[in-house]
Amino acid sequence: MLRAGAKLATWLTLIGGGAAGAAVATSEDPFLTMKVCTIVPVRLLRDFITAATIVMDYEYSTMGLKQGSVEWSQAKHEAHERSALRLRELCFRNGGIYIKLGQHIGQLQYLVPREYVETMRTSMLKRCPVSSYNQVREVCMQELGGPPEQIFLEFDPVPLASASLAQVHAAKTHDGRKVAVKVQHTHLTNTAVADIATVDLIVSFLHWCFPSFDYRWLVDEIRESVPKELDFLCEAKNSIKCLDNFRRMSPHIAEYIYAPKVYWDLSTSKLLTMEFMDAPEILDVNAIRQLGVQPIDVSRLVSQAFAEMIFKHGFVHCDPHAGNMMVRSLPSSKWNIFGRRRPQLILLDHGLYKELDFETRTNYAALWRALIFSDANGIKEYSTKLGAGEDLYALFAGILTMRPWNRVIDPAVDHLVLEGNDGEQSELQVYASQYFPQISELLRRLPRVILLMLKTNDCIRAVNYSLLQGSSLDTFLIIGRVSSKVVVETKRKLQKNLLSSPIIWFEGMLLQARLLCMQIALWILQLEKQWKVMFG
């Protein structure tokens, strides 16, 4: 182990030194680059100390204990907790790409040990780095040719929010429009390449020490996505394309989805000026209710919007955590007789999108249709087509639904609904821990775009769960309805003879009938619950 640590230190030094030398030699601003290069070795040292400590902790905390015993499980749990805290502190101290890594981990529920998920999820969105006003002023001068107080009529020096790559300030243009100005953290582009290289080295080293720990795909994803997320003009174009997709392919809900307008004359690749959105965040249930909007309607809209994006559009917002969604009442909506108004979902931060090709999108839709209808053969067929293999399809289904296989194929109408009690959560955590090596193998096999769908799936599940304080069959009915429609439409497009049309039509009608039966069953279940609450 000490020999491995020495090997890691040597590689860190070589990579850090080589990257620094090359950066200084090729930079247009040697003084700035030299300053950056003084930071990189410090980060490398932190990386080495953290990685070596985590490795030794895992190595020695379970030494002499029988694998699978109560003592071994407890020691493993405590090592997970300690290591998660060390990784969190490393991410905070290094900042930038490391924060992005921590956020990714926090959104991979039951794909990584729960101790890491809980530690990252409760902190990564709240303790992001904040650039000083002088740094913000510097970016504004470089990008727009003047300081914020000159470019804007008003500019609040205190940020409204800060994320891993940028922070947002409230401002007002000279023509009186209230705007939100997203400013990239300074020098981030200078350190990004070196940060990704060192993160890659650390993850590869951990995989070498623990072969079952194989999350190199996560580094590959960050390496591919971060350059796009650092280009704010790309983000602006994504927001426009997203809304255009709803107008063209999902007109029935287009007015319920919104993204802030972009002011192109005040936007560059590192500074983005958008319409200011005065609306509560999606998890501010009290504020949402004060608008006359009910959380259940918001949950349904979120499920509908992302089902349309995934199964119909093939162009998916892959970072839908709570901080990136807001809710307001639909501008044209009026109060109904029940005192409710219709919600409008506001999507923020359009930097991370993924495109699903036709085959992947239709296979994924067919898989979800099979999951909703407890079709074991369909689950196996389409899981295999997506890369899970005939040996891990049941595990893939479990990760997608967070249910063990016996519940996935249970014909009960509510077979995918999570009750949310402590016993069920513990069962899921044990299930994930028990099959950790197989989960790592599954993640290695699946296409990266499907891995991003898993992350998106977890984000949406977490938002809906918080809105409703539990799981809802409504969500699965919506997914079943959209995915089934896509499957039928795909078959219709690919039909080779006229005789297929009646068969496809009949299949579509049968699917709708099954969904209607599930909807009726849902109403009955809800009535039973209300009856028990009222009359015991």
Catalytic positions are 319
CB 13 within 8 A of CB 44: yes
Report the C-alpha gap between 20 and 37 in whole angstroms: 5
Distance of alpha carbon 90 from its chain centroid, rounded?
Answer: 21
The rounded radius of gyration (Å) of the Cα atoms in the chain is 25
- Residue 66: which of 57, 56, 76 has the closest Cα? 76
Q: Show Cβ contacts of residue 7 under 8 Å, excluding neighbours closer than 6 positions.
A: none
Handedness of CA 385, 388, 393, 399 (dihedral sign): negative
Name the CA dihedral angle for 493, 377, 360, 485, rounded to a multiple of 10 degrees: 40
- Residue 279: which of 336, 238, 325 has the closest Cα? 325
Q: Is 230 helix (H, G, I), strand (E, B) or coil?
A: coil
CB 449 within 8 A of CB 356: yes
Written as one letter, the residue type at 57 is D
CB 465 within 8 A of CB 420: yes
- 305-316 exposure pattern, b = at least 16 Cβ within 10 A, e = fewer: bbbbbbbbbbbb
Report the C-alpha gap between 365 and 409 in whole angstroms: 17
Report the C-alpha gap between 304 and 171 in whole angstroms: 33
Tokens for 3?
């020999």
Report the C-alpha gap between 507 and 301 in whole angstroms: 27
| Bridge partner list, 166 | 184
Angle at 199 between CA 193 and CA 205, to 5 degrees: 135
Tokens for 284?
């501010």
Can you give 350-375 as a three-state secondary structure string?
CCCEEECCHHHHHHHHHHHHHHHCCC
Distance of alpha carbon 526 from its chain centroid, rounded?
Answer: 30
Matching residue, tokens 């249930």: 285
Tokens for 376?
């074991």
CB-count exposure of residue 158 (10 Å: 0-12, 13-18, 19+): exposed
Report the C-alpha gap between 349 and 14 in whole angstroms: 36
Instruction: State the DSSP H helix or E strand holding residue 326, giving kind and residue range, or none if neither.
Output: strand 325-329
Q: CA separation (Å) from 24 to 18, 36, 48, 355?
A: 10, 9, 24, 37
